[in-house]
Amino acid sequence: MPKPGFKSITVSESVYNRFQDAYQKSQEDLSRKGVKSFSGYVSYMLEEQMLKDETFARHAPMIKKVSVESDCIILRDNVHNRIVEVSVHNNELYCQRCEQKDCVHVGFAFSMPDVYDMLSSRGITKPK
């Protein structure tokens, strides 16, 4: 049983070992940051991640990728609070929402590395 003010969680051995490994490797560095124990290290990592998530949530991108298929890219438009479908049609991207080939969603789709790779492997390039 953990001492008062503490809770315990169970993680898989592989997760534990990965953290333990990383902890051992940067123990000196961490100790300078005030992290003196393995559980302190795990708490520190969780806290860091949480902060990152919160920062990310505060600066939520206006458009987010939902999924990328070979002929259809699904985006979430956080400005208009809706899902936008950009389809690959006749070797061009076409936004179903704006009904055009050159809108912010098409631009965003081209800016995603996986979409860009998928398109350029099919010989599709961004219109000028």
Closest listed residue to residue 65, CA positions, set 81, 57, 76: 76
Half-sphere exposure in the Cβ direction for 63 (13 Å, CA): 17
Q: Are 72 and 86 in contact (CB under 8 A)?
A: yes
Query: Mask 58-97, x = binds Zn ion (CB under 5 A)?
Result: -------------------------------------x-x
Please say which residue, 60 or 83, places its beta carbon nearer to Zn ion: 83
Q: Report CA-CA distances (Å) from 49 to 9, 21, 40, 63.
A: 17, 18, 14, 22
Q: Residue 104 CB, nearest distance to Zn ion (Å)?
A: 6
Q: Can residue 98 be called a binding residue for Zn ion (CB under 5 A)? A: yes
Q: Residue 95 CB, nearest distance to Zn ion (Å)?
A: 3
Which range of residues in 15-23, 36-44, 62-70, 99-107 is near Zn ion by CB under 5 A? 99-107
Q: Are 77 and 83 in contact (CB under 8 A)?
A: yes
Interface positions with Zn ion (CB under 5 A): 95, 97-98, 103, 105
